[in-house]
Structures are given as structure tokens and as C-alpha cells.
Structure 1
Amino acid sequence: MVVAGGNGQGNRPDQLSYPYYVFVDRDHSVYMSEYGNHRVMKWEEGAKQGIVVAGGQGQGNSLTQLNRPLGVIVDQLGTVYVADQGNHRIMRWSKGATQGSVIVGGNGAGAQSNQLNRTEFIRY
């Protein structure tokens, strides 16, 4: 059974490009980070195409962009948390938001108290 994608590699709402991490919420919606499209997609149960819930504005470091996102989790309010590996930060995207906020890191790679280095996983 295909629950997301299945229409070849690409950036349309019914396609994925290098999906990495998956999170399934209580409503059985599937959230998937896409390394290739620099976005996080949400696929509701039975949907034929996904919805961009984080990033999707190309590769970059603005608050509307992600750079090689990996780990993703979603809380009970629908807030999406993303390990933005290429930007060395953890971002939070409120439900329905068009831009996220940096909650940890974002000051380049390093070992200082305000830095992360190639963030990959998120757990709660």
C-alpha cells in the first residue's frame, strides 16, 4: 500500500524527492521530511497528494526555507518540529504557518552554546 508519493521523483504535491524521516500522528496523517525538496509534507489518511507544512520555498536559510531537513516530529497541536541539517538548527512551524521560527541553533556549525552541528534527530 502506498501512503505517500508513488508518482515518481519530483516536487509536485503527489511526488517526493529523497524522503528521509516519517512521523505518523494520532489521526494517521503521515509527515515526511524531504531532503531533495527541502520541505516537510503532510499526507492525510487516504489523500492522493500531500500538503507542504514546512519549507517548500527552495533550499536556503530564511524562515520560509529549509536546507536538507531530516528528523521531524509533530505535537498534539499540529506544531511541526524539524531538524534542519544544512542550517544546523531546529525549527518550529505552527499549524498553518507560512514561516517557521528557530528554536535552537541557526548560528552555523559548532560547539558553542548557541550552535548545533548537522542536526539529524528530534525526540520528545
Structure 2
Amino acid sequence: DDQTIYICDQSNHRIVEWKWHAMSGQLLAGGNGNGSGPHQLDNPRDVIVDKDRDSLVICDWGNRRVVRWPRRNQRSAETIISNISCRSLTMDDTGSLYVAEDGKNEVRRYQGGVLQGIVVAGGNGEGNRSDQLS
């Protein structure tokens, strides 16, 4: 809305916010070296903003998790999905999270704290048929 972009700075294991016309970015998450602690990220791959909860939702690929990181408190993250090689994610207007996972050729929807997502696209192996993703 305010022309701010959020960047997964993978090799630096952090999320950086860049405001319109800014000369430098502001650290929002990670930046404490790679690791699996609640204040660390390891090769983050995607980030979205959850405006309703004033937080970032991050694909923490190297740690095989999806975390929620408060935008105002940069200290620690809450793991919301474990054991997942998250490649990308998005959220709909109801707060459901959609996650694409490396090597699975599918997109899963996670609603309201459910630990096992439901396949909503793909899930029929790799390929170019209309019921497949690659």
C-alpha cells in the first residue's frame, strides 16, 4: 500500500524492508547469522505481510519451517508449520496460508492452526497435465 517492498536476503539470512525512495533497507527479521534459533533464519525463500496480525510470514527454507515474525518486535519468530521445504507462499483474505513445497509439485492450504495442509493444486506427480505441477 505504501510502496514498501520486503526482500528475502537469502545469503545474509534476513528479511529487509525497503521503503519508497529509501537509500538503505531496514532489518526486520533474522540477520543473526544462519541458524535454527527463534531469532535466526537459514536461507529464507519467500516473505509475505500479514496485515491483520502485523507480522511477516517467512519461508525459512534452510530450517524446513514457516515462521511468523512480528513486524514491531524483531527478536524472535513463532514456528507455524514444521518439517516443510517451503519454496513460496501466499495468504488469502480469510487468513488461509497457501504453501508450495520443494519437490512435492503441489500447493497446500493451511487454515486456522491446522498442522497438515490440504492439497489444493497439483499433488499428482510432476508433469504438464492440467492436474499436475512441475
TM-score range, shorter chain: 0.7 to 0.9
Structure 1 distance, partners of 2:37, 2:95, is 23
The CA deviation at 1:91 is 0.8
- Name the one with the larger helix percent: 2
Picking from 77, 80, 103, the partner of 1:53 is 80
**Greater relative CO, 1 or 2 (CA 8 Å, sep 6+):** 1
Structure 2 distance, partners of 1:70, 1:88, is 11
- Which digits, 9 at most, give the CA deviation of each residue in 1:38-94, with x for residues without a partner? 22111122232111222x22xxxxxxxx23x22211223321111213211101111
Q: Residue 120 of structure 2 aligns to a residue in which SS? A: strand
Structure 2 distance, partners of 1:2, 1:95, is 28
Structure 1 distance, partners of 2:114, 2:57, is 15
Q: Which runs of 4+ in 1 moved over 3 A?
A: none
Other-structure match for 1:24? 49
User: What is the TM-score normalised by the length of structure 1?
Assistant: 0.75
- Name the one with the larger strand percent: 2
1:1-124 alignment, distance < 5 Å: 1-27=26-52, 28-47=54-73, 48-54=75-81, 56-57=82-83, 66-67=84-85, 69-117=86-134
Structure 1 distance, partners of 2:57, 2:132, is 26
User: What is the TM-score normalised by the length of structure 2?
Assistant: 0.70
Structure 1 distance, partners of 2:37, 2:116, is 20
- Which has the greater radius of gyration? 2
